[in-house]
C-alpha cells in the first residue's frame, strides 16, 4: 500500500509541474522555486507532514519535499531556541545540498556538454 | 500640463499592451497546442516510478539497520548523484524531453539544474565559470527555500517563546 | 548625382553589384536535413575540433568566407571590407573571425536579419564606389545562442511547440563591382534593390514565439518594398523570409492576405528559410532560426537554384528578433526587424 501511495503522490506532484510547464509561460527554474516554497509554506501550516506519513518518499523526493525538510528543520529547531531555529533548515538538508554541490562540481569539471541529439 | 502628458503616456502604454495582447491571441491560433494529456501521463508515470524506486531503496536501507533519517539522506544523495552523472553524460536532457516534469519536479531536476549551466562554462574557468554557474538555477531555489524556512523557524520560535 | 533612393525605404543600385562567390557550412543536424546537398561542408561534430562552441562558430564563419573567396577567385587582399555579424555577445564570432582573416571589418548586429543587413550595406558600398569587392556573411551556432538566450543545453527542459531551432550554420557571399571570374554564357546573380526595414513591435513577450514576434516587421518591409518599387509579389519567383518558421510563415501569409495581396500568389511565391532547412521529422518544432539559417540557405540553396535557372528573381528578407539577454527579464516585448534585398539572374 505504501508503494501505491508513493507512486500516486509522487506522480501527482509531477503532473502539477507538467501542467505549469505546458499551460503557463513559467520556465523550469521558476517552477522549481515555486515547488520548494510551496513545500515550506505547506509544512509551516502543518499540512505536509500527513502527506509524508502517507506516501513516504512519494512526498519527500519531489521538490516540495525539499521545502518540507527545510521547514521541518526550522520548526524542530524553534523548539530548542533561536539559534537552532535559524540553523535548522540548513542542518537537516545539509547532506543533500553538500552532495549536490560537491558532486555537481566534480561532474561539471570532468564532463563536457554534448551537442544536442534531440 | 505635466500631468496630462503623464496620463497620455499611461494611455499609450495601455494601448500598446492591448495591441500586444490581441496580437498574442491572434498568433496563438497558429501555434500547435502541447499534448497536455500524454505529457501529463508520462510525467505521472516517471515521477511515480522515481518515488517508488526511492522508497524501495529507503526500505532496503532501513531493513539493514540504518535509521530512517540517515536512510532518507542516503536516498537523496543517491538520486542527486545519479541525476548529475546522467547530466554529465548527456543523457538527462534526452530523458527529460519525454518525461518532462516527471524528472524535473523530483530532486533529480534540482540536481540537473546545477550541472547543466555549470558544465557549459568550463572554458570560463573552474572558479568563476563552473563555480559560479553551478548556482544559476539552484541559487534562486536555495535562496527562496532557505529564506522561507528560516523565517518560518523564527516565527515558530516567537510562538514557542511567547 | 543621380539619386538612388526610390520610394520611402528602398534604394535601387545603379551598377547592380555582382554576387561572384558564395560559401556556406552546416552542422550535423543541418546535414541531415532536406537541403543537405546545398552545403559546401557539413560538420560531423558541432564542436568542429575546437575547444569551445564559440571557437567552433568562428571557424565555421571563416570556412564559409574562405569558400566564398575561393569561388570568386579572389585573395583576401582583394577584399576591401568584410561585413558580418552573429548572435554571440558583442558579435564575438565575427570580430574573432575578422581577427584571423585580417580583412578591414565592419561588425553588424541585426540579430537574425544580419545576412540581408550585411548584403544591403555591402552592395551600397560597392554600388557607391567605396569598395570594389566586399564579403558579406553571418553565422549562428545552436549551442552558443541557446546558452546565451535560453536554457543550458544539458538542462532537462521541454521545448514548447512554438520554439525554434537555432541553426548551426554560416554563410557568406562576395559582392563585387565587376563579374570577376565569370565567363560569357555563365549566369551571374546581381543585386538590384534593397529595402531597409523599420523596427516593429507587436508586443510579443514570449522568447519562444520568435516567428510571431518578427512577422509584422517582415510584412511591413515587404509591403513597403512592393510599394516603393511598384511591383506585385509575383514579380518575384520567390519571396523568402529568413527565419519566421512554420508559425511565423502562416502568420505572415495571413497578414499579407489581410493587406490585400492575392492569397494564391502568396501561396505560390512565398516561402521561409526556417521551414526549408529542416524536415518536420527532425523535431525542430517551430522550424529553424538564427543568423546562419537565412545566411546558409541563401548562400547555398537559393543562389545555386538561381545559377541553375530555377529562379530568375528572388527577394530575400532576413528577419531578426532584436531582444537582448536582459530585456525579457525586464518585461520588455520583443521587437522585430526585416531587411529585403532583391536579386536577379543575368
- From chain C, the residues in CB contact with A25 under 8 A are 205-206
CA distance to partner chain C, nearest, from residue A18 (Å): 10
Mean pLDDT of chain B: 92
Facing A105 at nearest CB: one of B75, B87, B130: B130
Superfamily of domain C5-176 in CATH is: Stage V sporulation protein AD (3.40.47.40)
Which homologous superfamily is C189-345 in? Stage V sporulation protein AD (3.40.47.40)
Quick one: pLDDT at residue B10? 87
CB contact under 8 A, A114 and C28: no
**Which residues are CB-contacts of C273 (< 8 A; sequence separation ≥ 6)?**
C240, C241, C242, C243, C288, C293, C294, C297, C298
Burial class (CB in 10 A: 0-12, 13-18, 19+), C325: exposed
Whether A72 maps to a domain, the answer reads yes
Q: Is residue A115 part of a domain?
A: no
C153, C159, C168 ranked by CB distance to A113: nearest:
C153
* SS3 of residue C316 by DSSP: strand
Tell me how many domains chain A contains. Answer: 1
Q: Structural domain boundaries of chain C? A: 5-176, 189-345
Question: Shortest CA distance to C296 belongs to which of C139, C166, C146, C152?
Answer: C139
- Tens of pLDDT, residue by residue, chain C (346 residues): 568 999 999 999 999 999 999 999 999 999 999 999 999 999 999 999 999 999 999 999 999 999 999 999 999 999 999 999 999 999 999 999 999 999 999 999 999 999 999 999 999 999 999 999 999 999 999 999 988 887 787 887 888 888 999 999 999 999 999 998 777 778 899 999 999 999 999 999 888 899 999 999 999 999 999 999 999 999 999 999 999 999 999 999 999 999 999 999 999 999 999 999 999 889 888 999 999 999 999 999 999 999 999 999 999 999 999 999 999 889 899 999 999 999 999 8
Q: Do A27 and C158 touch (CB under 8 A)?
A: no
| pLDDT the model gives residue C173 | 97
Contact C28 A115 (CB under 8 A): yes
B window 26-55, beta carbon within 8 A of A: 34, 36, 39-40, 43-52, 54-55
The pLDDT tens digits of the residues spanning B100-112 come to 999 999 999 999 9
Of C152, C168, C283, the CB nearest to A118: C283
A31 exposed, middle or buried (CB, 10 Å; 0-12, 13-18, 19+)?
A: buried
Q: Is A107 on the interface with C (CB under 8 A)?
A: no
ipTM: 0.92
Looking at residue C129, its pLDDT comes to 95
pTM of the model: 0.92
**Which residues form the domain of A69?**
2-110
Quick one: pLDDT at residue C299? 97
pLDDT tier, A118 (very low <50, low <70, confident <90, very high otherwise): very low
Of B39, B140, B159, the CB nearest to A22: B39
Give the number of C-alpha atoms closer than 13 A to the C-alpha of residue C261, restricted to the C-beta side. 27
| Contact present, A109 and B130 (Cβ < 8 Å) | yes
Amino acid at each position: 500500500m505504501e508503494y501505491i501511495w508513493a507512486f500516486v503522490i509522487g506522480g501527482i506532484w509531477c503532473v502539477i509541474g507538467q501542467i505549469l510547464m505546458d499551460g503557463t509561460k513559467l520556465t523550469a527554474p521558476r517552477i522549481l522555486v515555486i515547488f520548494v516554497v510551496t513545500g515550506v509554506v505547506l509544512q509551516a501550516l502543518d499540512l505536509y507532514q500527513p502527506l509524508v506519513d502517507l506516501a513516504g518518499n512519494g512526498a519527500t523526493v519531489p521538490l516540495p519535499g525539499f521545502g518540507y525538510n527545510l521547514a521541518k528543520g526550522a520548526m524542530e529547531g524553534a523548539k530548542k531556541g533561536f539559534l537552532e531555529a535559524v540553523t535548522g533548515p540548513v542542518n537537516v538538508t545539509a547532506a543533500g545540498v553538500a552532495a549536490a554541490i560537491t558532486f555537481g562540481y566534480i561532474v561539471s569539471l570532468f564532463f563536457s556538454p554534448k551537442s544536442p541529439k534531440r | 500640463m505635466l500631468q496630462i502628458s503623464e496620463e497620455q503616456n499611461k494611455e499609450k502604454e495601455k494601448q500598446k499592451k492591448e495591441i500586444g495582447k490581441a496580437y498574442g491571441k491572434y498568433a496563438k491560433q497558429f501555434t500547435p497546442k502541447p499534448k497536455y494529456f500524454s505529457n501529463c501521463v508520462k510525467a505521472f508515470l516517471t515521477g511515480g516510478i522515481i518515488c517508488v524506486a526511492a522508497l524501495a531503496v529507503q526500505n532496503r536501507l532501513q531493513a539493514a539497520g540504518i535509521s530512517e533519517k540517515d536512510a532518507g539522506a542516503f536516498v537523496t544523495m543517491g538520486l542527486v548523484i545519479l541525476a548529475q552523472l546522467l547530466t554529465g553524460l548527456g543523457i538527462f536532457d534526452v530523458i527529460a524531453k519525454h518525461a518532462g516534469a516527471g524528472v524535473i519536479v523530483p530532486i533529480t531536476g534540482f540536481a540537473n539544474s546545477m550541472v547543466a549551466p555549470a558544465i557549459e562554462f568550463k572554458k570560463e574557468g573552474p572558479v568563476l565559470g563552473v563555480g559560479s554557474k553551478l548556482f544559476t538555477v539552484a541559487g534562486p531555489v536555495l535562496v527562496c527555500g532557505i529564506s522561507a524556512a528560516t523565517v518560518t523557524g523564527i516565527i515558530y520560535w516567537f510562538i514557542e517563546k511567547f | 548625382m543621380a539619386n538612388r533612393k526610390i520610394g520611402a525605404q528602398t534604394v535601387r543600385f545603379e551598377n547592380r553589384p555582382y554576387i561572384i562567390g558564395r560559401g556556406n557550412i552546416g552542422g550535423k543536424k543541418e546535414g541531415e536535413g532536406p537541403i543537405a546537398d546545398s552545403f559546401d561542408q557539413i560538420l560531423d561534430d558541432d564542436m568542429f575540433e575546437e575547444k569551445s562552441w564559440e571557437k567552433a562558430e568562428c571557424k565555421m564563419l571563416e570556412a564559409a568566407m574562405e569558400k566564398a573567396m575561393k569561388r570568386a577567385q579572389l585573395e583576401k587582399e582583394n577584399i576591401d571590407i568584410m561585413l558580418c555579424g552573429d548572435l554571440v555577445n558583442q558579435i564575438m564570432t565575427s570580430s574573432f573571425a575578422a581577427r584571423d582573416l585580417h580583412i578591414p571589418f565592419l561588425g553588424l548586429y541585426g540579430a537574425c536579419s544580419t545576412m540581408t543587413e550585411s548584403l544591403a550595406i555591402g552592395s551600397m558600398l560597392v554600388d557607391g564606389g567605396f569598395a570594389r569587392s566586399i564579403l558579406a556573411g553571418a553565422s549562428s551556432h545552436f549551442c552558443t545562442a541557446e546558452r546565451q538566450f535560453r536554457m543550458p543545453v544539458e538542462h532537462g527542459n521541454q521545448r514548447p511547440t512554438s520554439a525554434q531551432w537555432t541553426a548551426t550554420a554560416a554563410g557568406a557571399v562576395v559582392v563585387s563591382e565587376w563579374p570577376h571570374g565569370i565567363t560569357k554564357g555563365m549566369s551571374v546573380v546581381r543585386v538590384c534593390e534593397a529595402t531597409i526595414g523599420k523596427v516593429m513591435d507587436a508586443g510579443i513577450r514570449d522568447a519562444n514565439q520568435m516567428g510571431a514576434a518578427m512577422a509584422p516587421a517582415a510584412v511591413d518591409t515587404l509591403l513597403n518594398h512592393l510599394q516603393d518599387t511598384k511591383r506585385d509579389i509575383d514579380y518575384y519567383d520567390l519571396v523568402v523570409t529568413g527565419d519566421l518558421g512554420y508559425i511565423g510563415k502562416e502568420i505572415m501569409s495571413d497578414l499579407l492576405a489581410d493587406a490585400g495581396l492575392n492569397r494564391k500568389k502568396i501561396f505560390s511565391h512565398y516561402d521561409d528559410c526556417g521551414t526549408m532547412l529542416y524536415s518536420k521529422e527532425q523535431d525542430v518544432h517551430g522550424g529553424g532560426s538564427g543568423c546562419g539559417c537565412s545566411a546558409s540557405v541563401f548562400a547555398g540553396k537559393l543562389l545555386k537554384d538561381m545559377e541553375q535557372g530555377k529562379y530568375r528573381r528572388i527577394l530575400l528578407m532576413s528577419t531578426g528578433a532584436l531582444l537582448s539577454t536582459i530585456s525579457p527579464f525586464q518585461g520588455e516585448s520583443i521587437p522585430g526587424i526585416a531587411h529585403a534585398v532583391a536579386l536577379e539572374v543575368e
